[in-house]
Chain A
Amino acid sequence: MMASHTFLSLLLFYLYTLHLVRPIHCSVGSNGFDTTSIPKEEFSEELLLKPLPDHKVLAHFHFTSTSPPSSSNGKHHHLFPKSIAQLVKKYKIRELELSFTQGRWNYDRWGASDPLSTANAKPPGVELWALFDIPTKEEIDATWRNLTHSLSGLFCASINFLESSTSHSTPLWGFLPNDGDLRYGALPREAVCTENLTPWLKLLPCRDKAGIASLLDRPSIYRGHYHSQRLKLRSDRLNGIVIEQTLSVVLQPSDRTSWSLHQLFKKSLTGKCALAKSSKVFLEIEGNLGSQNENILELVGDADMVTNDQHDHSTIYQYNVERYSEHEALDIRVNWKNPLQVSFPQAPLHASRFLMGSGNERGSIAISLQSARNTTKGLYDGSNNCFTRVVIFQVVPWYVKVYYHTLRIYVDGEIRDTKDVVEKINVTPSEDKVSPGTLEMMLRFPCRTISAALTLDFDKGFLHIDEYPPDANQGFDIPSALVSFPDFISRRIYPDSIRSPLLQSYKGRNVVKSYTEVLLVPLTTPDFSMPYNVITFTCTVLALYFGSMVNVLRRRVGEEERLAKSKDKRRPGLIPLLISKISNKVRGIKEDSANQSQSSQPILGPKVVFKVVLIALIAVLGHYFLNAN
């Protein structure tokens, strides 16, 4: 056992040095190993470029690593990132997706129902969900907490804030159908930058030193209008662990009519990552250009393959990176002769979400669904009525206290009975400082619906001063809602001759979905500088109550009468009265007898004078001796 390990690692080391010296096509185990029975770890890199209608360009980097299920290499990995493998093993993750996004995907212009946008358009900030292979709910929660901390360390992000029960939820079917083993959390305000990208790149075997990832010039990609970096992993007994790392950026070329790979990234692609099984660049043009492509665009750089998808929705140009080298870098240049007129595939309904109301006491959340121009299709039920089903999944933090009974649904401007429209609803109301509110709702609209809207009223919560973030007056973010259309599947089938994990993923039955905007809810703030004042004022009022009540209850009748009597008498001045009281105390004579004897005795007797002088003398002496020491 030991010997075989040593041999294997030696072999790997040998191969690795070979790669460093001279990049050759790599194939593990060609030296006498039986490679047919042991599946290999594989890595492939791809880049898909897609011109968008508003003269922007979408660059979608797609890296796939797979690790076979059998642990033939023990705990060691050849290509596959060890940290991820450990994560999967330790937390028994079945599926996980983590995305960091800056900016918002423009569903109107950049497409909403093609596989690329349904899979890669993500809500702003961080979104994390995971499916676990763990039976009990408590264990899942504990594992989720550990997972958030691990990921937080792994990606240098505040994912650990998803640990608390106030920030993650357990959707049952609104997000992804599951048996209660899914956890979902989102941090809409998380800023995404290079410190998140670097650890993400570390998971790639060539990092950004070679291959397609070398195009990732930081200033270029962070200049984009949309930036989403994603990690998705699936693990099962049959296929082992598969991780998909994608980075989608929407860039604005400097020139409207022509752009090239080099212009976009300020870098050239000089060859593949030597460890990659395949390395390809695709250019996908929406719409079937067919023979007219000469009139619309001119491509500089010849593609290895041009093909259309099954339904002729798009044309794809394929470039194999391995053909290129430092001497002959791959550069794709697109010159537009005429603007692209094709409208991108839209979701059946365009979703947007906004807040209504003013003031810091209450408000309403509204989700509006507008019919897209080109879709009228839907499903037909038994009585041949056409309808469209819409699933809305929304998580609301606890300080936005939603009244679910105020749900109102408007279809084409008219209020509808919720029973007619809502097919299925699952509400988990928020609990103060414990859990967020989750709303999963399946709606059913007639196909001819032009617009639909739903509103929910809420009260704004009031927080303890420690619960406010440092920028309390900026407001609080409500994570994006997810609107999905379960009857609409986005898939695009390309010929099998193109072996590409990216295009394979296009074939998956992805439900068309879109994320809504993040909402910013301003909450009232207390005065943060006041805690001591508030404590003292409140306690003063309480003391006032307590003291005066005790005073009233304690007062006796006799006392009052005495007071009244003493009022009748000619009162001596304040100072003589005080002195007399003190002298009475000192002599230990009761007040009543003192009053009687007041007239006969002088106030300051010789005894008192003597005592006062004695005490003063002692004090002076004491002071003198203390100072002398």
Chain B
Amino acid sequence: MPELRRYWPIAAAAVLFRLALVLFPGDLNLGSRPEVATPLSSLRRLAEGYWLKQSSLSPYAGSMYHGSPLLLPILGPLIANRIEGRPMYFYCSFLFVIVDFISAILIRATGQKLFISNQQNNKSLKLPGKINLVSNLAKENAGDVASLIYLWNPLTIVTCLGSCTTPIDNLMVILTIYGACSGVAPLAAFGYVMATHLSLYPAILIIPVILLLGHGPDAPPSKLFKRTIRPFSWKPIIYFVVWALIWTFHVLLLCSISLKGVGGLHEMFRKTYGFTLKVEDLSPNIGVLWYFFAEVFEFFRDFFLIVFHVNILFMLLPLAIRLKHRPCFLAFVYVAIVAMLKSYPSVGDSALYLGLLGLFASELADMQFSFFLFFGYIGVTLLSPVMHNLWIWRGTGNSNFYFATGLAYACLQTVLVVESVSSMLKHDRMLKRLVSA
């Protein structure tokens, strides 16, 4: 299997770079950045929830904590133990470095699975000679590229150090995709249940997961094959469903044990999923919904809440129909759409889909606007903190400036998603031409 040369040194360098930043004596205070930590993922709020739980109150008392009750016993003690002269969440940052590394490894493994299936497909289509004409990247392992993109993406690094629980959410999503790609139903079910439990939106990944388990990893459109090489198999899907039910039962059981006597599951759903769906917190973030709901007239609020959430669901089916032969890519598109339209987005969500984007480097090689997108991302990530500073800290700016960067960011993500879908479809068309030629 061809490997990117010097993969391990570069990955190790990324981890060392993170460790250096964790050990950095000053407090970088990334945890208070609205771009990094959202009300759902902030460790500071988690610490408050842990404190409330320790004082035998419900962790959801008040409106501070909106995360999972399962994170409290894991991260809580790490937060409570502080060392003088070190940043607040020293131990947690260490944990997140490990989590990030595992995510990168899983992305790499997913890439390898995709690569192998790609090779097989090319062989069965008798394309190996022709594909080289299309892209010289095809020979390289996209998994290595994606993994390194994930590790060295500044957004990932910021998220990792930014004292928020997003790295764990991302790990669970990646675990789902990896598990489904490699056909391990229990693992996929675990990742899926956990990811949904932690942040609700990954629930829509059920479609790509089922397609992955049924069809196997990404392949050119099935019409191209003279005969179907792998029929849709229901067995792993039934496995997946059974395992998902088992994991759900376990998660709910653990949650109800941990919330026994202090609110129970009903309060948990109200404070986590309800909080996500109702967009109750209007503090600024890189999305557009906070400002929208701070400004929109109260009697339209419910209507627009439905509109925005339905917008996520609306595209699921059309995308699934057009991209059913590429479930992994479909998962990437879903993740990107969620990152764009979710109620409390952060750069950690972008880090996830940008990492996954690397998996399709060879297919998307001739994507349009990549130059514009690259510098657009850089521009927004630089401008957004400036505008935030001008508005919140200096008082010389105005909320509209910050909102404008949010709008620009949403546009960029739109262009990225649409262009990647478009070029993937083009790639399939090109394959068809090559096969029929």
State the A residues within 8 Å of B (CB). Answer: 358-362, 398, 401, 403-405, 425, 427-434, 437, 459, 461-466, 524-527, 530-531, 533-535, 537-538, 541-542, 544-546, 548-550, 552-553, 555, 557, 560
Contacts and interface: CB of A to CB of B under 8 A. Distances in A.
Interface in B320-352: 322, 340-341
Interface stretch (B42-50, B100-108, B148-156): B42-50
B414 A541 contact: yes
A535 B392 contact: no
A403 B44 contact: yes
Nearest to B393: A359
B206 interface: no
Given A541-B407, A550-B318, A425 B62 contact: no
B235 to A, nearest CB: 31
Contacts of A427: 52, 55, 57
Q: What secondary structure prevails in chain A residues at the interface with B? A: mixed
Interface stretch (B111-119, B172-180, B240-248, B287-295): B287-295
B81 interface: no
A361 B393 contact: yes
B283 A429 contact: no
A398 B414 CA distance: 36
B294 A541 contact: no
Nearest to A434: B63
A549 B295 contact: no
B63 A524 contact: no
B62 A531 contact: no
Nearest to A535: B296
A488 to B, nearest CB: 28
Contacts of B403: 534, 537
B233 interface: no
Nearest to A425: B55
B418 A548 contact: yes
B302 interface: no
A359 B407 CA distance: 24
A404 B395 contact: no
Nearest to B418: A548
A526 B422 contact: no
Contacts of A428: 61-62
Contacts of B292: 534-535, 538
Contacts of B308: 542
A524 B399 CA distance: 9
Given A544-B411, A546-B311, A524 B295 contact: no
Contact of B48 (A405, A538, A544, A553): A405
Given A431-B63, A534-B403, 16 more contacts: A360-B393, A361-B393, A429-B57, A437-B62, A465-B295, A525-B399, A537-B288, A538-B289, A538-B291, A538-B407, A541-B410, A542-B311, A544-B414, A545-B418, A546-B314, A549-B315
Given A541-B288, A544-B414, A464 B393 contact: no
Contact of A555 (B282, B284, B410, B425): B425
Given A405-B48, A541-B414, A552-B421, A534 B395 contact: no
A431 B62 CA distance: 4
Contacts of B132: none
Nearest to B282: A462
Given A464-B282, A538-B407, A552-B422, A361 B392 contact: yes
Contacts of A431: 61-63
A404 B422 CA distance: 50
Contact of B340 (A362, A434, A531, A545): A545
A549 B288 contact: no
A160 to B, nearest CB: 21
Contacts of B422: 552, 555
A433 B301 CA distance: 15
Contacts of A537: 288, 403, 407
A243 to B, nearest CB: 37
Interface in B49-103: 50-52, 55, 57, 61-64
Given A430-B63, A549-B315, A524 B392 contact: yes
B282 A463 contact: yes
12 contacts: A360-B395, A405-B51, A433-B280, A434-B63, A534-B291, A534-B292, A534-B403, A535-B295, A535-B296, A537-B407, A545-B311, A555-B425
Contacts of A557: 429, 432
B418 A524 contact: no
B393 A531 contact: no
Nearest to A465: B295
B315 A404 contact: no
Interface in B401-435: 403, 407, 410-411, 414-415, 417-418, 421-422, 425, 429, 432
B295 A462 contact: no
Contact of A549 (B280, B284, B421): B421
A4 to B, nearest CB: 58
Contacts of B281: 432, 462
B47 A360 contact: no
A589 B45 CA distance: 67
